[in-house]
Chain A
């Protein structure tokens, strides 16, 4: 199987650990990943005002790039890119007049866009196309005894129309963790917003959220938390520095991308995991469980 892949900006620097581990895991599952030869930033947030066609240009241009690569499907890893690309596409499908205006504006593009590219998140592809049942047999190092809390945040599940799973109680990552041999841990804050981009001008607000979310994870005795968004990863991992200053009793906990656990279960070497990008080192707990 071959997949067209849109990486987005952050996967090429702060979230290289996400990209490398995802590609390793997909190759191990026999999927060839083909990155778009040309792409631009998606804009990261979907425009919420009715008169703002302009900001749908960036995501739609990326979907034109997908068509140029002779594909009608695109895979995303970053939850923010997924949300922005998918929502812009849905919006355009439901607004032919707006789409027409955008196409006229993009008169230099060789392809006129019709809303016919499907935007998929890696998790959906794993469940529906690679199929979850084919994953178990590919595990070479099961995540035995590792208790994993799955944090979804906002962009994978809201709004409901584009969400990849139940809007209030998604379980797709937990299903995957079980297949990899780990122990999924439930906790009540898995779809609670981490504060998102507020991290730029109000880091203390994010630190408070991080505290709430991670304290709940720890009460439920998880060893690690997995995420699917580089901004959630930054807020939950790097903002633990500010969290501990505000809440001195707080205990650190490592944050990983779900793809890093897949890569470990599929027997990757440690350089793929790029632990140097983490603030809280996941190595001690992974070593304790005999996983690295």
Chain B
């Protein structure tokens, strides 16, 4: 957290933007300027493209970006998790090589954690990395890997020791996806989009310097990535929207959104689009139906309280206090909000809720909510797993007895997968 007052931050950000923001710059060139100045990622440490600001201070800067309409650094997707993990556990080499291109948007990242046999039980990963000569050789399969089809790099959790208990035999790597040993096969989702993939490794190679942290530390590094993922799921992050303004930088950003982000255009819908509810109710006249009004009110109470809970958690963290329960309940709450929002949208939409695409309201946006919201309860750790985390870690309730954590991993019963 910087010692600067909020007013000084606002004034400095505004002055810098007014002097430097230029719609005619190329997207990467402009982002390069942002990165050099520290205004692109002000919450990052000063040593690495940031200003060491708190989240609250960062939001002031964001407001200034919005005020002037300036394009920001690349912020969507797994890149945030990659950056957070590298900042926390990476070597200087990792930071040099990767952070800048994450912010410029030149590199896309993916998270190679889940496998066919291990999703909730992430520590049950069976993708293996074996040291051969001076290199790590990777074999196995990952699944549900968002972005892998256009990513350059992946955050890989792989087993390096099969005789240790499951959590102890894992290591964490950064892997170059664009190599012959990696095959990416897109998977279609129930909403028709294909934003996640199967990833197959056949003797894929990793240079030893792209191991993150120590051998056998994979689980604790993965936990950092997951914490950031959970935190990102609290609904406070905004979705990147194309601007209709003209200028090279806007055009290039719009292209980035249209192409790179195309598979993710359903992401706002999966969260339930609470923002649309009241307008839709008025438009359809359903705002006069008492039963609909009640359900909308329930949703808004839930969504507003969830937002303030997330803000409380962040504020506590920024003041150096323990996060409190708020930090862990955000993800579960967002699942509840998404579910109730889908229910409310159905009520509001009536018969049109049976239709999709051009035949349905908002060119299919409402229909997309209705077939996307279940993802919120699964991605980034299921609702059941979140409840286990809340009860066992936050409330310190006794853990379920476990048999799989103490024995050598090769002896643990697991799925027979093809």
Decide if A and B are genuine partners: no
Which residues of B line the A interface, CB within 8 A? none
Which residues of A line the B interface, CB within 8 A? none
